[in-house]
Structure 1
Amino acid sequence: MASSANRVVSLKNRCGESKSPYVRSHMDNPTTWQLWTPETLELARQTNRLLFVSIGYSACHWCHVMAHESFDDPRIAQLLNEHFIPIKIDREERPDIDRQYMDFLQATSGGGGWPLNVFVTPELEPIFGGTYWPGPKSERARMGGANFEQILQKVALAWKEQEERVRESGRKVIEQLREFAQEGSLGGRAGGRVSDGEQETLELDLVEESYQFYKGRFDSVHGGFGSAPKFPTPAHLKHLLRLGSYCPEVREVVGEDECETARDMVIQTLEAMAKGGIKDQVGHGFARYSVTRDWSVPHFEKMLYDNAQLLPVYLDAYLATKSPLLLDAAHDIAAYMTTAPMISDLGGIHAAEDADSLATAIDHHKREGAYYVWTTDEFKKVLTEQEAKICAKYWNVKPQGNVDKRADIQGELVGQNTLCVKYDIPDLAKEVGMSEEDVKGMLQEGRQKLLAYREENRPRPALDDKIVTSWNGMAIGGLARAGAALQTPTYISAAEKAVECIRNNLFDSGSGTLRRVYREGPGETPGFADDYAFLISGLIDLYEATFDSKWLEFADRLQNTQLKLFWDDQKHAFFSTPANQPDILIRSKDGMDNAEPSTNGVSANNLFRLGSLLNDEEYEKMAKQTVGAFEVEIGQHPGLFSGMMPSVVSAKIGVKGVMVVGDNEATSAAVKKFNESITPNYTILKIGGGANSEWLQSRNELLKDLNGSRSMVQLCEGGVCKLLDGKDVESLF
């Protein structure tokens, strides 16, 4: 095959043709970025050029750093343009491409992250990759090690002089990744086993083993798991918090003391986060993660998927403890997702806010965290002398700044303070000789003044105003549950508006299919398995909060589509991508939880819940098959499959359904009890009493003849229901 060295290609930067804010942010680079399209991939084959695929997202700080250091550099651009076909991809639009090359990077280097940069053959096989590489003029490049310019030169030379060897390397890596995927060794993905859905090999001991995994990694000083950088990992927190709410059979296996310890670990973590710099102490919402062990210095980007997952975890924690701090955190997250700038005019919820911003309107260089950090001079300027004293103590604001230089790699936080709660109000009141009420009032007034000053004087970080179907699905579920439990109808209304936004703009009623992203119109990318899974889960939550069966009908329709497009009839469980997708080398199944819960974990739970609500044995069978497909992986590493644990329990002991008919004191008590409890492996439905149940009764044979004239509460399991009296209702959950 001829080398690419003599193939001259004249391209122009096409980022301006994309709807993605991230991709568009590179439209003025001298690098001639192309989009991931069939035309671009064909061009690579025709010209025999390596693709340089750079994947990131708009809120990514290190993506911005590399863009400034390298992609804006004329020399770097010249190398990319002369020797490669550079492609820029938004990972949130194409998580499938991101996933396949992240798998390659993690398998070959043991690490990963964003920006994700991969050199790829015209046949799309990766040969070399990394994350952030320093630009040739950066401080990190001067400290030694390979910089991006040197990497480009070496890869270009290898392709020119040893093309066949490079190609063979790419082929071998992809073959190994395919084998790992078949064996289930790649990211917790189901391998080649055939599950009949009837095996009961996944024992409840796995739930206890998953607890032990996290107990051994718990940071007893600061909460969370492991050291810095520290991520919230909501899927794991949710699992651990719910251990004590399972049925007696599960608690007996895990141990009552262990269930209590698991809950305490989660509560300590959530409290530390709520007091830490990872939470926006002046505004609303949580940042993506902390670069420090004590949660004090965040990586300042705010992502919808983090906040959407944290909302139900904080809600569960409040329901378990009645702690005002945890309740405030839950309301804070809900407020973040339902107010500007996160809420769109269409009702959908935007994707993210950037980590970087300008410190003032007249600045020209963005800095990470500029919108969120403070100096003592600003406190003195904005607040009264007494307010500044109290607020500085409360939030640990120091004249020299409170950020350790080891956590400030770029030196952008020198003299700055992240706001972290260091005092309980009673202790602070005692130290300053004031009443608790006066201190509380002064802190509230100070917060409002700081917020007003920030909004008036600091440019807000850039907003990624994409509406991502899967992330909205998570938000819909959290808002629905919070609205029902906290008796806040505005949260339920926001969830309903988000569903309508997706149904009106991203759902094709004729085919029953979803699209992945809306921005300036629906995107071209079809929905992936996680878009269906997370939206179905949110719709079930919304049904249980409203008892309007139109949400359940929509969930059932989407479930049928997900099965049609992604279900593996031979080996079971759900592929992440549809069949015959031309630009995917490995069609995999996600089972392990990461920043987002696993698609198959959520899907299995959806099937169990729908099976219970609709009395559908086929759904229940498929739920068991989905769990069974990951039998070996879960058995080997139960701690990495938190999202599968509810379905492990359901497969073993079943799902119980509370059926509420009519409207009286007992039925109202049952609904209230359900809303205000942590209820793994339970569902609830309602007939009559104001519920819109017509579709549900037509779908569920058990409910066909009920009319709501006789009010009652029944507990159903395996198609058999028994009547509950007042004492039974009180002891539920």
Structure 2
Amino acid sequence: MAQATQSKSLSLPLRNRCEESKSPYVRSHANNPTAWQLWDPETLALAKQTNRLLFVSIGYSACHWCHVMAHESFMDPSVASILNDNFIPIKIDREERPDVDRVYMDFLQATTGGGGWPLNVFVTPDLEPIFGGTYWPGPGSERERHGGGFKNILEKVAQTWTEQEAKCRESAGQITRQLKEFAQEGTLSGRKSSDGQEAEDDDEALELELLEEAYNHYVNRFDSKFGGFGSAPKFPTPSHLAFLLRLGEWDGIVKDVLGEEETRNAMDMGLKTLENMAKGGIKDQVGNGFARYSVTRDWSVPHFEKMLYDNAQLLPLYLDAYLITKSPLFLDTVHDVATYLTSAPIHSSTGGFHASEDADSAPSADNPEHKEGAFYVWTASEFRTTIDDPTAASICAAYWNIRDNGNIDRRADVQGELVGQNTLCVTKTPADLATDFGKSEEEIVQIIAEARRKLLSHRDKTRPRPHLDDKLVVSWNGLAIGGLARTAASLSSIDPSASQTYLSAAEKAAAFIKRELYNHSTKTLTRVYREGPGTVPGFADDYAFLIDGLIELYEATFNAGYLQWAEELQQTQLRLFFDDAQGGFFSTETGATDVLVRSKDAMDNAEPSTNGVSAKNLFRLASLLNDEALETKARKTVRAFEVEIGQHPGLFTGLMGGVVCCRLGLRGIMISGDGEEAKEAVQRLRGMVRPGSTLLRVGGGVDDTWIKQRNELVKDLGQRGMVQVCEGGQCSLVKADEVEKVLKGRGEE
């Protein structure tokens, strides 16, 4: 999947080519004395011609430590001289080329036990890695003076390559073989029976007891005081939290397997985490949206960048929490995140969603030196002056934990940029404050709301907003489309106006992708849009996340066009990425010449697992379209990872829904006609968390022509209002007020 470029003749000495890129991250390095090249055929050919090591530096626009290293090292003439004279330096935006990033991140994690960005790796002309790391200190830093800095590393690597090239190549070759074996591990061994023959197409290894093992993984790591898992730094990991919340929303058989107490505890772990996040500094308490992660255990001090893919995943997660609990806090958070997604700067005037906002910004127009979190933090003095009422300021200071000397622990401020500053964290309830200040709870709520408006207005008027990475990534737009569509459907009767805003944004984004990034002839996607479509074809996750979003759009609108496009994309994803021999989806297409290892993404990390989402899509499309072939592909996708799932079920929560579907299937709910029974059923179903079912609408004023052609089960349904639950090609009538009982009650049989 090489990036298409115009043919260029590259020679030494090199010039900085960052301006040729459309990526804001890559372009931000255009003024470096480092002669950055692009990851393209010409650069890779030059490495072989000159027998130079590639120095591959991978990051993204909102990455704080990427900026630090750029300032300390890549702008330094002495560092640039070593890089330019001894290596071919390449700058890559990981959000454009996640395939390249994944290969070298796997290498780094395998060899060092850690990872992160910036990702810096030294690579042979054959693209095999020999040494790598993340942030290395630049000239003049304390660590650099003790021999651990970037210049020292560059000099040693250059010398080693010159004097011991054969040994370097041998070591790199061994590492590469191990990476390739690791990429194939499980997907090959998992499909063999005890006698070494390929296993039959059954699901014996995928027992529901795996859910209990995954649950125990989180029980053992849960922070009972602050929520979340492990200690600092803490990441939201929406896929893991969604798994815990939804355990009790599956078929009753799942609850029986796990146990009533365990199911409740799983939900409580998820809800406690979400509550603490919503009250913590990781959430923008003045504006909207969530930061990337917390550097503290208690969620109080975030790493301040805001990513589209985080907020797009958190939206349906908080919706789940609200639908389960009906908590006002969770409903407020749903609207908060949805507002962030549907407002500038994340929501683009083109209709899609921008990628991210930076962690760093200038404190004011008069102070242009960028600092981490400058847009979001407050001194006690500025906080009180902005609110401009002593009593209100005292109430709000108590509410948000504002302290005169700042509330940020020095240990959480590595660079000393947050001294004397406060993050806003909710530490008291309005009821507590009403007692403390002798006011009614309603008065306290009004005071806090007015203070928030003043703080937001002051912030927007006086502080330059963090840099926006304004590229549009298909996969992340797919996540946002799905989250907004489902939110719109679920809240349509609660807040029709907001619901329509959210649905409109989702539909406009889908229309934008279909217009600008979808080739109607080849039925393929382009991954990125910025100043026009990019040149990198879509990866498996672009297809998976967009298909998921389109299915949600269908269930929110019953517009069959979304379902039809989802099926087209599904067939393309199967054609380009599916492993017919072993099952599962490769991340990259067959024949990619500039990627060392072709792997399958199965674990959930910051983004959901591509194979987990793909398996869910296949099961849902199979149910909606009554298509056994798609269900077979879904089962084969889950089975491809049965060894890994069996060994570490807690790391594969995105595939756990597939495990349940392999054992129990999905229940397809078909609603026909326009009677009160049909309308009531739609409303009830949209107010539920339904991981075990799909929703199909026939008649009732929707255009169901394509669906009746595609799905044999609905071909002869008339306009009479009725609700049917279908399994295995058989359907039975149910009443609208019995739908929830039918979907969740089988465990009692």
TM-score (norm 2): 0.95
The secondary structure found in structure 2 opposite 1:731 is helix
**Partner residue, 2:726:** 716
- For the residue of structure 1 that corresponds to 2:424, the secondary structure is coil
Cα distance in 2, alignment partners of residues 643 and 189 from structure 1: 20
The residue that corresponds to 1:156 in the other structure is: 158
Q: Secondary structure at the match of 1:216?
A: helix
1:3: which partner in 2?
none
Measured after TM superposition, the shift of residue 110 of structure 1 is 0.6
What runs of 5+ residues in structure 1 fail to find an aligned partner? 1-6
Q: Take 1:256 and 1:501, find their aligned partners in 2: how far apart are those partners?
A: 45
Distance 2:740 2:445 in 1: 37
Counterpart Cα distance in 2 of 1:221 and 1:211? 18
Distance (Å, rounded) in 2 between the aligned partners of 1:140 and 1:252: 56
Question: How far is the alpha carbon of 1:401 from its aligned partner?
Answer: 0.3
Residue by residue over 1:644-693, the C-alpha shift from the partner in whole angstroms, topping out at 9 and shown as x without a partner, is: 01110000011001100011221111111111111011000000112221
Correspondence 1:725 to 2:730: no
The counterpart of 1:673, out of the listed 684, 687, 698, is 684
Say whether 1:239 aligns with 2:243: yes
Give, as a single letter, the amino acid of the residue that structure 2 aligns with 1:704.
K
- Cα separation, partners in 2 of 1:730 and 1:128, compared to 1, 3 Å: closer
Give the superposed CA RMSD.
1.3
2:579 corresponds, among 568, 571, 582, to 568
Do residues 58 (structure 1) and 68 (structure 2) align?
no
User: Distance between the aligned counterparts of 2:232 and 2:85, measured in 1?
Assistant: 40
Distance 1:727 1:370 in 2: 52
- Partner of residue 623 from structure 1, selected from 623, 630, 634: 634
- The amino acid that maps onto 2:646 is G
CA deviation after TM superposition for structure 1 residue 60, in Å: 0.2
Counterpart Cα distance in 1 of 2:41 and 2:287: 43
Amino acid corresponding to residue 42 of structure 1 in structure 2: A
- Alignment counterpart, residue 610 of structure 1, candidates 621, 645, 657: 621
- Asked whether the equivalents of residues 189 and 588 of structure 1 are also in contact (C-alpha less than 8 Å), the reply is no
Read off the aligned partner of 1:590 and give its amino acid letter: D
Alignment match, 1:84: 87
Q: Tell me the equivalent position of 2:701.
A: 690
Change (3 A) 1:206 1:641: same
- Kept in 2, the 8 Å contact 1:393–1:422? The answer is yes
Residue of 121, 124, 128 corresponding to 2:127: 124
Change (3 A) 1:726 1:520: closer
What letter corresponds to residue 177 of structure 1 in structure 2? L
1:199 shift after superposition = 3.3
Could you say if the C-alpha distance between residues 730 and 173 of structure 1 is closer, same or farther in structure 2, counting changes exceeding 3 Å? closer
**Partners of 2:723 and 2:736 within 8 A in 1:** no
- Amino acid paired to 1:465: D
Asked if 1:496 is matched to 2:501, the reply is: no
Counterpart residue number, 1:407:
412
Partner of 1:4: none
- Contact 1:278–1:297 (CA<8 Å) still a contact in 2? yes
1:43 aligns with 2:84: no
Task: Say if 2:349 is the partner of 1:338.
Answer: no
Pick the aligned partner of 2:117 from 98, 114, 132: 114
Pick the aligned partner of 1:299 from 284, 299, 303. 303
Secondary structure of 1:455's match?
A: helix
Match among 706, 723, 728 for residue 717 of structure 2: 706
Cα deviation, 1:367-418, whole Å, max 9, x if unaligned, reads: 0000000011101221121221111111001110000000000000000000
Aligned counterpart in structure 2 of residue 135 of structure 1, from 138, 148, 152:
138
Hey, what's the Cα distance between the residues in 2 that align with 1:653 and 1:119?
A: 48
1:459-608 aligned within 5 A = 459-487=464-492, 488-608=499-619
Structural mapping, 1:295-444, within 5 Å: 295-383=299-387, 384-444=389-449
Percent sequence identity over aligned pairs: 63
2:202 alignment partner in structure 1: 198
Quick one: distance in 2 between partners of 1:730 and 1:565? 39
The one-letter code of the counterpart of 2:732 is K
Distance (whole Å) between structure 2 residues aligned to residue 196 and residue 543 of structure 1 = 35
CA distance in 1, matches of 2:287, 2:525: 33
CA contact (8 A) 2:681 2:737 kept: no
Residue 11 of structure 1 corresponds to which residue in structure 2?
14
Cα deviation for residue 196 of structure 1 reads 4.8
Whether the 8 Å CA contact 1:241–1:263 is kept in 2: the answer is: yes
Q: Write the distance in 2 (CA, Å) between the matches of 1:196 and 1:556.
A: 27
Classify the secondary structure of the residue corresponding to 1:359: coil
What is the distance in 1 between the residues matched to 2:147 and 2:399?
43
Partner of 1:21: 24
Equivalent residue of 1:471, what SS?
helix
Once the 2 structures are TM-superposed, how far is the Cα of residue 335 of structure 1 from its aligned partner? Answer: 0.4
Contact 1:35 1:88 in 2 (8 A): yes
**Aligned position for 2:657:** 646
Q: Contact 1:661/1:711 (CA < 8 Å) preserved in 2?
A: yes
Pick closer, same or farther for the CA change 1:281–1:19 going to 2, 3 Å.
Answer: same
Q: Is the 8 A contact 1:591 1:599 kept in 2?
A: yes
| Cα distance in 2 between the residues matched to 1:312 and 1:352 | 19
**TM-score, structure 1 normalization:** 0.97
Aligned residues: 722
Which shifted more, 113-122 or 721-730? 721-730
- 1:256-311 Cα offsets, whole Å, 9 max, x none, are 11110011111110000000000000000000000000000000000000000000
Indicate which of 250, 253, 267 corresponds to 1:249: 253
Structure 1 letter corresponding to 2:182: F
